[in-house]
């Protein structure tokens, strides 16, 4: 059977599977049933060596692990988000407060479809392909843990590719570009410890609410005054908690938020400057400040040769009109960044917009849904990328 015929054959099953996965979302590092569903499918395919329980719930299936040719890794994510789905879909989430709002159900369906096609072609492929289903992409770095547990070795991975559905591109259009493509993502929890007092006698304390307000204002000057205008940085303060009453100045205030950048030196400078500024503002008012850092995804830097391969494959299989010419970086974070730090990689975007921009649900919105129509294109791109990489790097 030709590649196209094989893809036509597997796409309807992949779509059905997506619906099933969409209806049963699980959160980061708890994707036990999701991993089971994935493994159940992989076990039906020939020529695969399946490993489970990597980074707790991660799964990897290796095709032709002992063949000795080039080795390509294709990656998708297992986890959903802690949010309530708002949709009338027949396959909407059956779990209160959890949903696949980042489309990882669609990514799994595309990769399982590709695994089925490529595993059936197994003997004819002069190289190795690793299909990676990683846990905990949404802030907990499951990909990093899988790498620490050795998925890039035995055989050694030469290049890695990952697809993400992109609601800012028209359906079926591929977007990719070289260099920094997703931002570093650091989270902070700041606690300002002041002196509480009666609201009518503010001079008897030092008000952590006023100190917090100063920190919020001053933080934006790091972006506008301390960062090279040709670099990118975002500081967003997303929570400010303090106090219990109208007439009590509290003793403590908490701020949380995130910092995003597109270059590691800018990231380091922005984090250091934020901490220094917040601490010195608190101290100048006689308060103390504690700061805890979390998250920590590095900048995702796409390899130029891998990006060229994605573009070439998209041109050849989808046509020039379905390759976005003006793709830009995003300030979103992605733990595929850890793969890209370890091996030449490309994180590419598959357009999933089925409506005009104003009406189109975007990532992490309660009505986002990876469209069925994109699944076959995702399968096709995965297959062609792996085959073309192996062909170009034949030993
Ligand atoms: Zn997400
Ligand atoms: Zn995602």
3-state SS class at 218: helix
Determine if the pTM surpasses 0.85: yes
- Round to whole Å and give the CA distance between 388 and 381: 10
Counting ligands in written order, the one closest to the CA of 165 is: 2
With a cut of 90, say whether residue 9 has pLDDT above it.
Answer: yes
Q: What pLDDT score was predicted for residue 98?
A: 98
- Round to whole Å and give the CA distance between 104 and 389: 24
H/E element holding 94? none
Counting ligands in written order, the one closest to the CA of 105 is: 2
Calculate how far, in angstroms, residue 334's C-alpha sits from the geometric centre of ligand 2.
Answer: 7
Share of the chain above pLDDT 90, in %: 97
Which pLDDT band holds residue 89 (cuts at 50, 70, 90)? Answer: very high
Q: What angle do CA 272, 278, 280 make, to 5 degrees?
A: 100
Calculate how far, in angstroms, residue 102's C-alpha sits from the geometric centre of ligand 1.
Answer: 4
The mean pLDDT of 306-322, rounded to a whole number, is: 97
Q: What pLDDT score was predicted for residue 121?
A: 94
The mean pLDDT of 370-379, rounded to a whole number, is: 98
Residues whose Cβ atom is located within 5 A of ion ligand 2: 102
- Round to whole Å and give the CA distance between 192 and 207: 9
Counting ligands in written order, the one closest to the CA of 103 is: 2
Q: What pLDDT score was predicted for residue 1?
A: 81
Q: What is the mean pLDDT of the chain?
A: 97
Are 236 and 178 in contact by the 8 Å Cβ rule? The answer is: no
pLDDT in tens, 29-82: 999 999 999 999 999 999 999 999 999 999 999 999 998 999 999 999 999 999
Q: What pLDDT score was predicted for residue 4?
A: 93
Calculate how far, in angstroms, residue 363's C-alpha sits from the geometric centre of ligand 1.
Answer: 7
3-state SS class at 294: strand
The DSSP letter of residue 372 is G
CB within 8 A of 78, min separation 6: which ones? 26, 31, 34, 35, 38, 57, 58, 59, 104, 108, 133, 134, 135, 136, 142
User: What residue ranges define each of the domains in the chain, with the CATH number in brackets?
Assistant: 3-181+299-392 (3.40.630.10), 184-297 (3.30.70.360)
């Amino acid at each position: 059977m030709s590649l196209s015929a094989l893809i036509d054959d597997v796409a309807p099953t992949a779509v059905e599977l997506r619906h099933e996965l969409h209806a049963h979302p699980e959160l980061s590092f708890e994707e036990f049933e999701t991993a089971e569903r994935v493994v159940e499918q992989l076990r039906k395919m020939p020529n695969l060596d399946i490993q489970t329980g990597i980074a707790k719930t991660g799964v990897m299936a290796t095709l032709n692990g002992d063949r000795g040719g080039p080795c390509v890794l294709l990656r998708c994510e297992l986890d959903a988000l802690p949010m309530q789905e708002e949709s009338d879909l027949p396959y909407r989430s059956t779990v209160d407060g959890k949903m696949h709002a980042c489309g990882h159900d669609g990514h799994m369906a595309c990769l399982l479809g590709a695994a089925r096609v490529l595993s059936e072609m197994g003997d004819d492929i002069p190289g190795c392909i690793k299909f990676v289903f990683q846990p905990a992409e949404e802030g907990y770095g499951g990909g990093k843990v899988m790498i620490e547990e050795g998925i890039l070795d035995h055989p050694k991975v030469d290049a890695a590719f990952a697809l993400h559905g992109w609601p800012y591109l028209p359906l079926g259009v591929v977007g990719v570009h070289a260099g920094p493509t997703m931002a570093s993502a650091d989270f902070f929890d700041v606690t300002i410890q002041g002196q509480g007092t009666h609201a009518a006698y503010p001079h008897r304390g030092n008000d952590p609410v006023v100190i917090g307000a100063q920190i919020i204002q001053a933080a934006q000057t790091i972006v506008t005054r301390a960062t090279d205008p040709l670099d990118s940085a975002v500081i967003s303060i997303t929570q400010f908690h303090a106090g219990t009453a109208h007439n009590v100045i509290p003793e403590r205030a908490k701020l949380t938020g995130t910092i995003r950048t597109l270059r590691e030196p800018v990231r380091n400078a922005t984090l250091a400057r934020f901490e220094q500024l917040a601490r010195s503002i608190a101290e100048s008012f006689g308060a103390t400040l504690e700061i805890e850092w979390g998250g920590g995804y590095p900048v995702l830097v796409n390899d130029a040769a891998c990006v060229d391969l994605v573009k070439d494959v998209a041109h050849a299989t989808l046509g020039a009109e379905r390759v976005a010419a003006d793709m830009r970086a995003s300030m979103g974070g992605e733990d595929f960044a850890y793969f890209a730090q370890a091996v030449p990689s490309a994180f590419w975007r598959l357009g999933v917009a089925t409506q005009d921009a104003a009406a189109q649900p975007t990532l992490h919105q309660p009505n986002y849904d990876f469209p069925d129509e994109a699944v076959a294109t995702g399968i096709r791109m995965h297959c062609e990328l792996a085959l073309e990489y192996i062909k170009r790097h034949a030993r």
